[in-house]
Amino acid sequence: MSDTFDFKPNAMDMNSPENAGEQQANLETGINESNSAAKLTLKGKLRERGFFSFCFIACVVIFLFSVVVYTVSRLSSDFAEFWARYPAFWLKFAQAKSTTYFYFSIAEWLLLSIPFIAVWYLVASWRAINNSKNQRDFYKWLTPLICILLLIVSDFFLAFGPCYFRYPLEKNLGIEKKGVSAQELFDTAVKVTEEMKADLDKVKFIYNGASMMPYSYPELVEKLNAAFERYAKKVDYIDTFYSYPKPIVLSELLTYTHISGVYSFMTGEANVNTNYPDFILPYTMAHEMAHQRGIAKEDEANFVAFLVCMESGDAYIRYSACSNMLNYLLNALHQADSKLYNKYYSEYCPAQLRGEYASYSIFFDKYRESKASEVAGTVNNAFLGTQGQKEGIKSYGLVVDLAVAYYKGK
């Protein structure tokens, strides 16, 4: 009798034909899933790389276009005038409107945060690149930085740079600007003084001779916006819009640079140093708002500020315009003819204006000699020189040429 052995394969036996097929199917499924995951990862990387490439190419195209616009503006005042009046105006309008409802200076806080952002960027990029075996990570961190720099330069070339090369202000005003004599400086100073005297009884002066602005900073903003609107209706070379010039938080420190205001083309903001005496504020604010509206040259911004302030229905704003303009005229007169300068002070200068200037001189003694002002002056000189203002910071004082021409034509 033979023994029989009934063999039943174990379900776990990997050598069984049925399980072999199942194993193969599972293996193929795993491979397919791995391939799908790899493909998704690859697609993600390609999509990310494509996004960075698109941004970089777009920034390069914008930059190249801005270079063309800026170059043509330097070569053709006709084109620069057109660009300043229309495309550049709307660019500045968009920038100003995007920041005007923040009641602090975005430009100031960006400037203060640059050291922290730079340290974070350097540390984060170094760690990412150091921990990665892929050298492309270096470009992933470098590309945004290059794009930001290209956009900043493009912004200047498109929105503000061309305004330096538009028609001279005297052409837009229809006056003839020539070299001025000492007598013309004297005569213009007398005319401006007569206009100022009409408002002196409405201006309040305190114990140290300084005048006092009779309203708050926000109220000044409203009054100057109204003055710009009134003035813009009378001329065709400048348009306007509502904006809120920003008070600088670190005004005390900024005073050591002798800077009373700054226009930030990157954020479209007019920024005002509120540490200066009251009579400086309206005129400075109007100056920076003139930059914001496309008047780039410093002497022209000074004179537009004067014209706008004189258009105001407020006595203190008109007083600010006259007292600041007289400061430029008298400084030029003192250099040209000391006898006429002394004659003006002895016969025409109101006692209130003498007190204002004396009080300002005492205030400024603290900041007069500073290394910060030397550095700021050197940087400003260099920048203005690159924009065709060969006189550098002395160009601010060239406003007297415009004032003389303007009053001769009145």
Q: What is the pLDDT of residues 264-276, one digit of tens each?
A: 999 999 999 999 9
> How many Cβ atoms sit within 10 Å of the Cβ of residue 243?
25
For residue 284, which of 249, 248, 252, 250 has the smallest C-alpha distance?
A: 248
* Residues 6 or more apart in contact with residue 404 via CB below 8 angstroms: 180, 184, 185, 188
Q: Which amino acid, residue 197? A: K
What is the C-alpha to C-alpha distance for residues 229 and 21, in angstroms, rounded to an integer? Answer: 85
Q: Which of helix, strand or coil describes residue 248?
A: coil
Q: Express each pLDDT in 291-321 by its tens digit.
A: 999 999 999 999 999 999 999 999 999 999 9
Per-residue pLDDT for 188 more than 90?
yes
For residue 19, which of 6, 8, 31, 9 has the smallest C-alpha distance?
A: 9
Q: Express each pLDDT in 27-41 by its tens digit.
A: 455 555 454 544 445
**Selected residue with higher pLDDT from 158 and 118:** 158
Which region holds residue 209: left if phi is over 0, alpha if psi is between -120 and 50, else beta? left
Q: Which amino acid, residue 164? A: Y
Per-residue pLDDT for 22 more than 80?
no
Q: Distance of CA 59 to CAs 70, 89, 96, 143, 149, Å?
A: 16, 21, 22, 10, 9
Residue 38 confidence (pLDDT): 46
Residue 5 confidence (pLDDT): 40
Residue 364 confidence (pLDDT): 96
Question: What average pLDDT does this structure show over 209-230?
Answer: 98
Question: Alpha helix (H) ranges present in 131-278?
Answer: 136-155, 169-173, 182-200, 217-232, 251-255
pLDDT band at residue 379, thresholds of 50, 70 and 90? confident
**Stretch (H or E) spanning 359:** helix 351-364
Burial of 370 (0-12, 13-18, 19+ CB in 10 A): middle
What residues are paired with 389 via a beta bridge?
A: none
Per-residue pLDDT for 2 more than 70?
no
For residue 171, which of 298, 308, 300, 306 has the smallest C-alpha distance?
A: 300
What is the C-alpha to C-alpha distance for residues 20 and 372, in angstroms, rounded to an integer? Answer: 83
Per-residue pLDDT for 232 more than 80?
yes
Question: What average pLDDT does this structure show over 183-195?
Answer: 96
Per-residue pLDDT for 246 more than 70?
yes
Q: Which residue spans within 265-343 are E strands per DSSP?
A: 269-272
For residue 103, which of 217, 239, 4 has the smallest C-alpha distance?
A: 217
Residue 372 confidence (pLDDT): 80
Q: Distance of CA 329 to CAs 31, 301, 400, Å?
A: 86, 16, 6
* Residues 6 or more apart in contact with residue 188 via CB below 8 angstroms: 329, 400, 403, 404, 407, 408
Backbone angles phi, psi at 361, to 5 degrees: -60, -40
Return mean pLDDT, the chain. 87
Asked if 241 and 318 touch (Cβ cutoff 8 Å), the reply is: no
Q: Express each pLDDT in 64-86 by its tens digit.
A: 999 999 999 999 999 999 999 99
Q: Which of helix, strand or coil describes residue 151?
A: helix
Per-residue pLDDT for 157 more than 90?
yes
**Stretch (H or E) spanning 83:** helix 77-85
For residue 292, which of 146, 122, 99, 145 has the smallest C-alpha distance?
A: 99
Tokens for 198, please give them. 């009409």
Q: Which amino acid, residue 388? A: G
Per-residue pLDDT for 14 more than 70?
no
Query: Domain residues of the chain, as ranges?
Result: 41-165, 169-409
